[in-house]
Chain A
Amino acid sequence: MRTGDCVLKLRNINKFFASTHANNNISLTFNRGEVRGIVGENGSGKSTLSSIICGMQKADSGEMFKDGKPYAPKSPLDAISNGISMVVQELGVLTQLTIPLNIFIGREKQFSKFGIINTRKMKKAAQRELEKFGLGVVDVDDYAGDLSIEHRKMVELTKALMVDPDVLILDEITQALSRDNRDRVHKVIHDFAEKNKTVIVITHDIEEIVELADTITVLRDGQVVGTVKASETTPDKIKSMMIGRDLTGNYYRTEEEETRGENVILSVKDLTLPGVFNDVSFDLYEGEILAFCGLSDAGIHELGEAIYKIGDKSQGKVLTPLAQKKEVESPIDIIRAGGAYLSKDRDVAGLMLQADIKTNIAIPSIRDLAKGGLFVKPKDVRKKAQDAVDTFEVKCTGIEQPVMRLSGGNKQKVNLSRWLTRDLKFIILDCPTRGVDIGVKEYIYHVLAEAKDKGIGIIMITDELPEAIGMADRIMVMHKGTIAKTIHRSEGFTEESIIEVMI
């Protein structure tokens, strides 16, 4: 660990949201040149803490000190002027403004004379900054809305780096990035730390942070459990600190053999999405877990949507041999064939956040709940919702609670339960454990294993290699739009063998 002076000190930070004690007497010290990881389950208080440090919220009590002097930012801009900048977790670009404006908004003064802003100078400056951090592939003439999600994140990162902060906070930045961009960001972090600056990385990816950070602070239920040196710990130890107990039993499946049923439940033939993936063909068997892995440009996520036939741009066939209608032409065909699809963007394409749990669970099945397809009895809706909540042990105050009040893990439970309580033959899951804390992750793997035993075919699209390795019978690795390799469980999965084809 690079030791330096203390650059940021937090003392007894407390923050309440109604009755929730989100940050409970948090005291931490950050040194110059240090890469600190902050990990914790959903609801542990990481995002609250980071938003207090970067000026987006005020603590209810406690003090902060920057370079020994009292530090109480009134806004993110105020924090930046104190040398602390942050890349937020949610997407933070203005889609209808150009990239230079996105980068320099709030700091246009340097380009303005008598109130008039010199946009050409701003553009050149933006270009320079992007190239300085190796992110020059972005075209500064573009509107931020034209960029891919990854490139938008890179723009945000440039913006945060550009002010040459003493402390850089990255909240879940690598979640949205493919491996190559992830490596780029890691390099940026290391270079930054070399210059005796501090980087605070908030993440769910334990394996990544153990590699990346010098020290790791674990939060649980709003309190600091401990701060350990990365070199002296292991991911498993971190995970137990996060949950507060030793991980019992197996996280993933224990069998080393692949198993599957006899019948093909879903068959994909020459599925092509021009510009994204080509001629993908495979069969999914009953009771089989088939995983797809790849970088963000491999096309794995778009493949899932194409199988669901939700856009109408894909070519090729998706067949359900055991259903009444053999060829799938739209999402309703998948559903009628006993299938389901869960998007990786659960808050956008999965749940209705302001609505209650009851309505969220009911919607996919409302037609089936209706007597004769026409009349829906509120009693039936309540029963279905309550059953789902009970079966999946969703932590909530009742089925009338708005879904947005649940933690990420419980939201995902609601999301899954909507489908898994139906009579399913197969299910397509995209990043099923994204943004989900360890306890619920374990639960989800358990549920999937149970589903497999019941004969349900599962397609699991994931960018978490350990998850694929742990759960799948077969892994199909995609690279730039084609299936590069198919590995079977009995052959033995290794991360190396997957990574070498993935990149």
Chain B
Amino acid sequence: MNSRSQKFKFKIRDFNDVTPILIFLIVVVFFGIATQGRIFSPYNIKILIDQSVTTLVAGMGMIFVIALGGTDITPGAVAACGGFATYLIGCKYGILAAFAVALLVGGATGLLLGVVNARFKVPSFMASLAIGPIALRGFANIILQSQESEVIITPELVSINTFPIKLPIVITLLIIIVYLFHYSPFGYYCRAIGENESAVRYAGVNVRKIKILAFLISGLMSGFATVFMVSRASGLQTSLGTGFEMNVMMAIFVAGVPVTGGIGAKIYKLIVGAFTLLILQTGMVLCGLTGSTIQLVRGLVLLSVVYLSVTLNNKGPEGLKNLFPSKKKKDTANA
């Protein structure tokens, strides 16, 4: 009985592991045809990889929080507040200073969020909403308004945005994060907490410490992403980072990571999700759609993909029939 399952190691037990790749292929094929192949041009592929960096980097941190079952909607605000600070300091003091400031802002935010959630038991959604889009954005505006003269971005900062610098950094980060998430005790604990926090606590693990660390990592990675975002910006705009956390979350959930986290959270899903969304976005732009239409499609895509992911995972393909509320009472499998 036990050897049987070892033979079928790739049994499709979990639809959430396969759906992301399926959806990715569908999107690629669809837009490949719709843009008449233009989307695969070296130029566009370069743009894709370029744009994916910020989402991937921030996502690599946020996935720890999501694995725990928590929510972190601070990345956009970190990008704004940290971004402005990074921009200003980076222009004056160089690349290393830029990274330092960004990591500081991101790390401080993550630490605060982690303590408020783990130590003071404030639900992470509420806490990250208050700390991020509300409070941090306020700080961002303060920084913005304190600027009297215009600051022009230095070529040094812009150079961060080039492949020779970006690629090695991202790949290094990826290797570290994959290790941390999938091959270290810490990663196992994060995902286990998402499954059953009490059980992990009773197994003798210091859950509070793990949670704070997870939020810290999420914040630090947001900080990293901020530097890349700043280096692509042409100036300081109030809209810097708006909707960023939504992009990151969409990339993670669209690829089948359960909202409650747990062992369904995997790094490859983030990567697949990020590229799926980017191809969707770029494809739509290439097809000539306007900004608001693109947003419309993104919203619909988000809803459809999450619906597919949730339904297929819970019920298999038969579940798709249940689109409308039926009068029949559903059977619940009772132990």
Residues of A within 8 A of B (CB): 17-18, 42, 47-48, 51, 56-58, 74-75, 310, 330-332, 334-335, 341, 343, 348-356, 359, 362-364, 366-367, 370, 373-378, 386, 389-390, 396-401, 407-408, 418
Contact = CB atoms under 8 A, between A and B. Distances in A.
A366 B329 contact: no
A62 B213 CA distance: 56
B185 A367 contact: yes
12 contacts: A48-B334, A56-B334, A74-B329, A75-B329, A352-B195, A352-B199, A363-B189, A363-B199, A376-B188, A378-B183, A390-B2, A408-B335
Contacts of A356: 263
Interface in B282-332: 329, 331-332
Interface of B: 1-2, 4-6, 13, 179, 183-185, 188-189, 191-192, 195-196, 198-206, 262-263, 329, 331-335
A334 B204 contact: yes
Contacts of B206: 330, 332
Pairs A-B, 6 closest by C-beta atoms: A398-B5, A352-B195, A331-B204, A352-B196, A349-B202, A335-B204
A57 B332 contact: yes
Given A330-B204, A375-B184, 18 more contacts: A75-B329, A331-B202, A332-B204, A334-B204, A354-B262, A355-B192, A359-B263, A363-B205, A366-B189, A373-B185, A375-B179, A375-B183, A376-B184, A376-B185, A378-B183, A396-B1, A401-B5, A407-B335
A370 B196 contact: no
B202 to A, nearest CB: 4
A401 B4 CA distance: 12
A367 B332 CA distance: 38
A17 B202 contact: no
B183 A386 contact: no
A58 B329 CA distance: 9
Given A47-B335, A359-B263, A348 B199 contact: yes
A217 B4 CA distance: 38
B35 to A, nearest CB: 40
B202 A363 contact: no
A370 B184 contact: yes
A364 B203 contact: yes
Given A352-B199, A364-B204, A370-B184, A398 B4 contact: yes
Contacts of A351: 196, 199
Contacts of B4: 397-398
B202 A51 contact: no
Contact of A348 (B6, B198, B205): B198
B2 A363 contact: no
Of B4, B179, B333, chain A has the most CB atoms within 10 Å of the CB of: B333
Contacts of A363: 188-189, 192, 199-200, 203, 205
Contacts of B192: 352, 355, 359, 363
Contacts of B2: 386, 389-390, 398-399
Given A332-B206, A373-B185, A355 B5 contact: no
B1 A310 contact: no
A341 B333 CA distance: 31
Contacts of B332: 56-57
Contacts of A418: 203
Residue among B1, B204, B332 with max Cβ neighbours from chain A (10 Å): B204
Nearest to B332: A57
Contacts of A354: 195, 262
Contacts of A352: 192, 195-196, 199-200, 262
Contacts of B331: 57-58
A355 B202 contact: no
A353 B196 CA distance: 8
Contacts of A310: 201-202
Contacts of A332: 204-206
Given A57-B334, A75-B329, A366 B199 contact: no
Contacts of B179: 375
A349 B200 CA distance: 8
Contact of A47 (B189, B205, B263, B334): B334
A407 B188 CA distance: 25
Contacts of B199: 348-352, 363
B198 A349 contact: yes
A351 B205 CA distance: 14
B203 A355 contact: no
B185 A17 contact: no
Contacts of B191: 359
Nearest to B193: A352
Contacts of A362: 188
Contacts of A74: 329
